[in-house]
Amino acid sequence: GGSKEAAADADVIKIGVFEPLTGANAAGGELEVEGMKLANKLYPEVLGKKVELVIADNKSDKAEATTAAARLIEKDKVSAILGSWGSSLSIAAGDLVKNNKVPAIGASCTNPMVTQGNDYYFRVCFLDPFQGTVMANYAFKQGYKKAAIIQEVSNDYAVGLAKFFTDAFVKLTGDESSIVEVGNYNTNDQDFSGILTNIKEKNPDVIFAPGNFTESALIIKQARSLGITAPFIGGDTWETSEFIQVGGKEVEGAVLSTFFDDTAPANDEAKKFVEEYKKEYPNRESVAAVSALGYDAYILTLKAIETAGSADPQKIRDAIAATKDFQGVTGKITINEQGDADKNTAVIKTVKDGKFTYLDTVVIE
């Protein structure tokens, strides 16, 4: 392509985008990239240089992910990397960014292992433990006493959320047996009637089902057709239009925690983001939180470059690590020692009339 030659130019600062654009995680990856691209469109320059996004598809596959990351670092010589949706992919790239001393900012990879023991990986989202706890708190606040869990065992994210939910919920209710049933399933499963029938017999007050949005939507649908009336609650991965499309009217009333609410933008930047996003992607019914996070990841990187006053990865890394009270569209972000965003607020949304609707904000101290 014609644009490639220009890349060698010193007037361009390159930021790598490391996302799954094909394979199982493609949907999430695409949404995240949308946010980054939008941010790049709105803020195309830093230090008087043009910022170019170099997008590498990690194919939702770890081996591909490492080559994709290596390619960004070595071949494209990017100054920083954004991504990836799917914590395991970020983890796979972890050593590479660490060894090559190129900073990476995850947008929505919520697994604690991403930043653990890695001084070069950061993120702008909150973590699984936090999210699990948030939902447990929410459930407890609603007065639910008995919960059932349906987890995608082959998904690190789901397993993590389930674990932290369980811990928090047992603690809150003070009842060791407050989790009445745990059902496991595998990615790409489509029939959940077995575990749901077991759950139906236990008659829980609430069902926590963190997992991929497709499977989750099917679970809820099948639960309703089996006559299960208990409410379903889940995590941020649900927040995609496909969840509602697949789930149809059965997912009405499903509750989830997320990072961002497009109907109540927290600040001016957020307002601008939502407006521009709707212009750029008129087909999207709502603004996904991961798009907002992708947007934040880009802006935060840009700010860091500005602070560092250079495109040198090491300097950018130090600037990112020093980030304090950055006003992102998903709220205020301070990078802590771990490299994680210190966030204590989660947005609770529910599906109403086929739309994700703001329900509550939970703050965990």
Partner 1 sequence: MNKRTKLLLNIAALVVVILFIIIANELFDSYIKRILNLCAIYTILGLSMNLVNGFTGLFSLGQAGFMAIGAYTVAIFTVPIEARSLIFYLKPMNAFLSGIHIPFVPALLLGGVIAALFAWLIGAPVLRLRGDYLAIATLGFSEIIRIVFTNAQTITNGALGIKNIPTISNLWWTWSIALLTIFFMILLIHSSYGRAFKAIREDEIAAEAMGIGLFKHKVISFMIGAFMAAIGGGLFAALLGTVDPKQFYFTLTYNFLLIIVLGGMGSISGTIISAFIVTGGLEWLRFLDEPMSIGGINIALFRPGLRMVVFSILLMIVVLFYRNGLMGQREITWEAIGEFFKKLRTRKTRNAKGGAKVE
Partner 2 sequence: MGLQTFMQHLANGISLGSLYALIAIGYTMVYGILRLINFAHGDIFMMAAYLAFFGMTIFSMPWYVAFIMVIVVTVILGILIEKAAYRPLRDAPTSSVLISAIGVSFLLENLATFLFSGKPRAFPTFETMTYSLDMQGVSVQVLTIIVPIVTLIILFILLFVINRTKLGMAMRAVSKDYEIAKVMGIKINNIIAYTFAIGSALAAIGAFLWGMKYPQVSPLMGVMPGLKCFIAAVIGGIGNIKGAVLGGFILGLAEVLLVAFFGQLTGYRDAIAFILLIIILLVRPTGLLGEKTAEKV
Four-residue CA torsion sign, 286, 289, 295, 299: positive
Q: Which is closer to partner 1, CB of 67 or CB of 327?
A: 67
Of 242, 268, 275, 306, the one binding partner 2 (CB under 8 A) is 242
Binding status of residue 189 toward partner 2 by CB under 8 A: yes
Of 79, 84, 108, 111, the one binding partner 1 (CB under 8 A) is 111
**Residues 308-327, interacting with partner 2 (CB under 8 A):** none
Name the binder of 185 from partner 2, partner 1, none, CB < 5-8 A by kind: partner 2
Pick from 95, 113, 93, 167: nearest CA to 136: 167
Binding status of residue 203 toward partner 2 by CB under 8 A: no
Q: What is the DSSP string of 298-354?
A: HHHHHHHHHHHTS--HHHHHHHHHT--SEEETTEEE-B-TTS-B---EEEEEEEETT
Minimum CB distance to partner 2, residue 23 (Å): 6
Minimum CB distance to partner 1, residue 208 (Å): 15
Pick from 111, 60, 65, 82: nearest CA to 236: 111
Minimum CB distance to partner 1, residue 155 (Å): 6
Name the binder of 100 from partner 1, partner 2, none, CB < 5-8 A by kind: partner 1
Of 6, 63, 264, 363, the one binding partner 1 (CB under 8 A) is 63
Binding status of residue 197 toward partner 2 by CB under 8 A: yes
Binding status of residue 63 toward partner 2 by CB under 8 A: no
CA–chain centroid gap for 89, Å, is 13
Letters for 169-208 (x = contact with partner 1 by CB under 8 A, - = none) are ---------------x-xx---------------------
Binding status of residue 310 toward partner 1 by CB under 8 A: no
**Residues 206-225, interacting with partner 2 (CB under 8 A):** 213-214, 217-218, 221, 224-225
Letters for 131-170 (x = contact with partner 1 by CB under 8 A, - = none) are ---------------------xxxxx-xxx--x-------
Backbone phi and psi for residue 218, each to the nearest 5 degrees, phi listed first: -65, -40
DSSP conformational letter for 142: T
Distant-in-sequence, close-in-space partners of 170: CB < 8 Å, separation ≥ 6: 176, 178, 179
Tokens of 95: 């050593």
Question: CB–CB of 13/50 below 8 Å?
Answer: yes
Tell me the three state secondary structure of residue 1. coil
CA distance linking residue 183 with residue 193, whole number of Å:
11
Of 191, 268, 306, 312, the one binding partner 2 (CB under 8 A) is 191
Question: CB–CB of 274/284 below 8 Å?
Answer: no
Strand 147-152, strand 206-208: pairing: parallel
Interface with partner 2 (CB under 8 A): 20-27, 30, 60, 153, 181-186, 188-191, 193-195, 197-198, 200-201, 213-214, 217-218, 221, 224-227, 242, 245-248
